[in-house]
Amino acid sequence: MTEQYLSGKRALVTGAGQGMGTCHARALAARGAFVVCADRTITPSLNELAAEINGTASGFDVCDADAARAAASPEATGPIDVLVLNHAYMSMGDFLDYDEDDWWRVVETNLTGTRNVLHAVLPGMPEGSRIVVISSEWGITGWPEATAYAASKSGLVSLVKTLARELAPRRIAVNALAPGVISTPQLQVDASAAGVPLEEMIDRYASEIPARRVGQPEEVAQAVALLADPTLGAMTGQTIQINGAALRCRV
């Protein structure tokens, strides 16, 4: 039986409607947390997830600071003990030809959206809470034709380092995960940009990874659950990389 070290705790997971976010919500619920499953809109699949894990569904756009404040404030959700910032938007294109509006959509979703949710949740977070920010391997290494995405994810790493120092007196631990290539719907963006089927894109990535496979979202969720452990308080300001040995730790 999974240890219930989050029993009595309340968690909020953004981007919970699919991929890694769904797995994060399940992993936290399996450890006893009541999970607010958040996404841009409340879809049937989000409601199904919330019902499956005995949580609740919440729909708001992280890019809208007022909407985030209304939906994720302590008055709306109750105090949040574990915040998992998993939302993301990615598009790809040559830097000089990259659509300016899409550039800002990427940055506003991934970086400013994180700021908006933090502003909503942090005032009510109890001492000893945990914040997990999902960055990306590309935020560490950069990636051709993903300049906006890589820059925004790199910004999250710096945000985590700084916020961890600022919140340490409140015993709130702030850490990041920088997954490598993970088998989620987002890989379809890569495949479309490369002009190949999704299966071929996955095979290409796997051939470049020492483990010879892409990661699974459940593996990232296990790391989220680890960082949510209330006994791991000295672990803060760090970026954990999950990439099948594709990259040495540099941050």
Q: Looking at the annotation, which residues are catalytic?
A: 149
| Half-sphere exposure of residue 55: CA atoms within 13 angstroms, side-chain side | 34
Give 156: exposed, middle or buried? Use CB within 10 Å, 0-12, 13-18, 19+. Answer: buried
Tokens of 146: 């993903």
> What span, in angstroms and rounded, lies between the C-alpha atoms of 147 and 68?
26
- Going by C-alpha positions, the residue among 120, 11, 35, 112 that lies closest to residue 76 is 120
Q: Are 72 and 38 in contact (CB under 8 A)?
A: yes
The number of angstroms, rounded, from the C-alpha of 214 to the middle of its chain's C-alpha atoms is 18
> What span, in angstroms and rounded, lies between the C-alpha atoms of 75 and 36?
14
Tokens 């920088």 belong to which residue? 178
Tokens of 45: 């699949």
Task: Give the CA distances from residue 48 to residues 16, 221, 227, 233, in Å, rounded to whole numbers and listed in that order.
Answer: 11, 19, 26, 33
| Residue 176, amino acid | A
Give backbone dihedrals phi and psi of 138, rounded to 5 degrees, phi first: -70, -20
